Structures are given as C-alpha cells and as structure tokens.
C-alpha cells in the first residue's frame, strides 16, 4: 500500500520521487529507456533484474540500467514501512543537459550490468540528505536546481569506487541491452519466482514467453523449471549435509511439504529416504 508519494518534474518528466510503502507490496517497474538511481532510506529487499539478484538494505543505494525489475517488499524487523527515493535518468534529459558532451564521457564496453550497488560514502549520504531537504522545502525548487542535481548525481557516480561499472551501465542509456530469454531463465532457475515473473523480466506477455520458451527448451516453463529444481535438490541431498528445508529453499521451493511431495512424485521416494538410501550405498 502506498502511504506517501511526492515528486519533482523536469521538462514534463518525473525526475525525483519519494515513495513510502507499507508491506507487503510487489514493486514492479519497467525502465525500457532510462536508468534509475534508487536509495532505500528504510527497508530491506531483494531486487530481481533479468540476469541478477541484489540484496538492498536500509541506507543503501543502487543504480538500475534500462530493463524490467521487481522486488517483493516484505515486513522487516526495523520498521513498519519502506521509504524509497528514486532519481530517474532519461536519455533525452541527459542529452539536453550535456548536448554532445555526455556520451563522450563514456567508453563502449560489452557485458554491462543491470544492477550496480553504490558504496555508502559521506558524499552519497550528503547527496541524499540534500534531496530530502528540497522535498521538505519544495518552494526552493526550480528548473535550475533540478538541472544542477542531475549533473551532481552523474559526477558523483562517475567518481565513485565503481566508476568503470557505472560508466558501462550509463552507456546502456544510449545502447540498450537485448534481453536473452535463456540467460534470464538460467539465472533465476533456483529463485522462488513464478513463470509470470520471468515473462515480466523478459518484457514479454505470458503467452509470448511460453511460446518462445517452448521453442528453445522443447518443454513448458513449469515442467522444465520443476524438473531442473528437483534434479538440483537430488544432487544436494546426495552430496551436501544441508537440511531438507535448506535444500528446498536453495532450489526455489518455499513450501517444504510441497517440495517433499514433488520430489516423491518425480523420484518415487521422499527426500529423507533418498538421502538415507544414498548413505547406505557409500
């Protein structure tokens, strides 16, 4: 549930916004032609991108490249709501501010990340505090101030400890990445997300995703993913000392009874009996 939402616009586009959310809440965003600097003032969540997962906690910041993302905002011990600051970086806005100068700051490279966490430094902290100051005093905000904030953010990013990765990521504003369905599936194979989530990360409708998935894997998404997860669980039962609950969690099952039923249906025995049988054969 969204409790509070304020924003500043520049040239008809949302530039900076502050959102306060009461969990549970599914935060799903689609940034096909922009990057976003996001700061979690309060909260803790796992951000899912097409090829990565990243844990973000209170007072941490992350830069998101063009793409689709989702995060499940769940209850956490340190508070009853999330507070998130989002700074949008639109290519047209940057081009207008920098003219031809901005792309020249960057060198082309392949394999750009979708997500890049920023170290919590005094500079980042002061930048965030300054943005909140303007939300508390909106009468001080004008176009010149907002232009200055964009340039300040870019300069801060390019001078950070992650400057090389930041440059690669910002370059994506001018050469967006193509999402590879197979890469997305393999990256999230053991994550507790749904087929619908995978379709969203690929920026496809569920029907289109299912059709393209079958063309690549000759199987339905649900069947393929379930089989791969159970095969991985069998391997962990055979080779590791992890508990059954931990193995279920590590292979994408959030319900242990469901995991046990699925395992028995696939292999004809329960996870516990399978492990015992393997021990006797050694």
Residues 166-214 pLDDT 10s: 666 666 665 556 678 999 999 899 988 899 999 988 888 999 999 999 9
Q: Kindly state whether residue 126 falls inside one of the protein's structural domains.
A: yes
Q: Cα separation of 65 and 113, whole Å?
A: 7
Asked if 101 and 167 sit in the same domain, the reply is yes
Q: Which of 171, 201, 233 is the last residue of a domain?
A: 171
CATH at 255? 1.10.10.60
- Number of domains composing the chain: 2
For 72-98, the pLDDT digits (tens) are 998 888 788 999 999 998 888 887 887
Identify whether residues 142 and 268 lie together within a single domain: no
pLDDT above 80 for 250: yes
The CA angle 42-71-261, to the nearest 5 degrees, is: 125
Examine the pLDDT at 157 and tell me if it is beyond 90: no
pLDDT at 260: 94
- Residue 69 in domain: yes
In the prediction, which pLDDT does 67 show? 78
Domain end marker among 143, 171, 199: 171
Domain-embedded: residue 182: no
100 lies in a domain? yes
Task: Looking at the structure, tell me whether residues 201 and 156 fall in a common domain.
Answer: no
Residues 6+ apart with CB under 8 A from 276: none
Nearest CA to 194 out of 152, 253, 248 is that of 253
Position 178 in a domain: no
Reading the block at residue 69, the tokens are 């993302």
CA-CA distance, 33 to 161, in Å (whole number)? 25
Name 61's bridge partners. 39, 118
**Same domain as 114, residue 251:** no
Question: Are 199 and 63 in a shared domain?
Answer: no
Q: What is the dihedral of CA 195, 197, 199, 201, to 10 degrees?
A: -140
pLDDT, position 31: 75
Q: What is the pLDDT of residue 79?
A: 84
Give the Cα separation of 83 and 67 in Å (integer): 22
Q: Are residues 157 and 202 part of one domain?
A: no
Q: What percent of the chain has pLDDT over 90?
A: 56
- Based on the fold, state whether residues 11 and 145 are members of the same structural domain: yes
Q: What is the pLDDT of residue 109?
A: 47
Domain-terminating residue out of 141, 171, 201 = 171
Same structural domain for residues 34 and 87? yes
Residue scoring higher pLDDT (218 or 33)? 218
* pLDDT surpasses 50 at 231: yes
Q: What is the pLDDT of residue 175?
A: 58
Whether the CB-CB separation of 61 and 118 falls below 8 Å is answered with yes
Is 259 inside any structural domain? yes
- Does residue 176 fall inside a structural domain? no
- In a shared domain, residues 6 and 139: yes
Q: Which residues pair with 71 in a beta bridge?
A: 27, 47
pLDDT of residue 9: 96
Q: Cα(104)–Cα(282) distance, rounded to whole angstroms?
A: 62
pTM: 0.75
Give the CATH number of the domain where residue 7 resides.
2.60.120.810
Higher pLDDT, 281 or 130: 130
181 inside domain: no
Domain that holds residue 210: 187-281
Q: What's the residue count for the chain?
A: 282
Return mean pLDDT, the chain. 87
- 33 and 8 co-located in one domain: yes
Tally: H helices and E strands in the chain: 12, 10
Instruction: State residue 3 phi and psi, 5-degree precision.
Output: -95, -30
Q: Report helix, strand or coil for 10.
A: strand
Number of Cβ atoms within 10 Å of the Cβ of 22: 14
Same domain, 167 and 216: no
Q: What is the pLDDT of residue 107?
A: 47
Same domain, 135 and 274: no
Query: E strands, 74-126, where?
Result: 82-89, 115-118
Where is 83: in which H helix or E strand? strand 82-89
């Amino acid at each position: 549930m969204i409790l509070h939402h304020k924003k500043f616009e520049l040239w008809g586009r949302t530039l900076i916004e502050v959102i306060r959310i009461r969990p549970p809440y599914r935060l799903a965003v689609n940034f096909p032609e922009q990057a976003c600097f996001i700061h979690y003032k309060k909260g803790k969540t796992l951000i899912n991108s097409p090829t990565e997962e990243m844990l973000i906690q209170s007072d941490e910041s992350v830069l998101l490249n063009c793409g689709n993302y989702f995060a499940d905002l769940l209850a956490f011990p340190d508070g009853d709501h999330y507070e998130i600051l989002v700074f949008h970086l639109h290519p047209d806005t940057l081009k207008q501010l920098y003219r031809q100068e901005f792309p020249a700051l960057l060198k082309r490279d392949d394999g750009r990340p979708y997500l890049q966490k920023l170290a919590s430094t005094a500079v980042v902290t002061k930048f965030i505090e300054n943005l909140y100051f303007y939300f508390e005093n909106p009468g001080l905000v004008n176009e010149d101030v907002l232009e200055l904030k964009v340039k300040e953010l870019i300069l801060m990013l390019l001078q950070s400890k992650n400057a090389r990765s930041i440059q690669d990521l910002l370059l994506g504003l001018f050469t967006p990445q193509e999402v590879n369905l197979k890469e997305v599936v393999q990256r999230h194979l053991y994550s507790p997300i749904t087929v619908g989530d995978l379709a969203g990360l690929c920026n496809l409708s569920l029907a289109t995703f299912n059709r393209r998935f079958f063309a690549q894997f000759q199987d339905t998404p649900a069947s393929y993913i379930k089989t791969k997860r159970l095969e991985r669980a069998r391997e962990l039962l055979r080779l590791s000392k992890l508990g059954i609950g931990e193995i279920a969690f590590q292979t994408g099952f959030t319900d242990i009874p469901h995991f046990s039923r699925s395992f028995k249906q696939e292999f004809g025995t329960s996870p516990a009996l399978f492990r015992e049988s393997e021990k006797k054969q050694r």
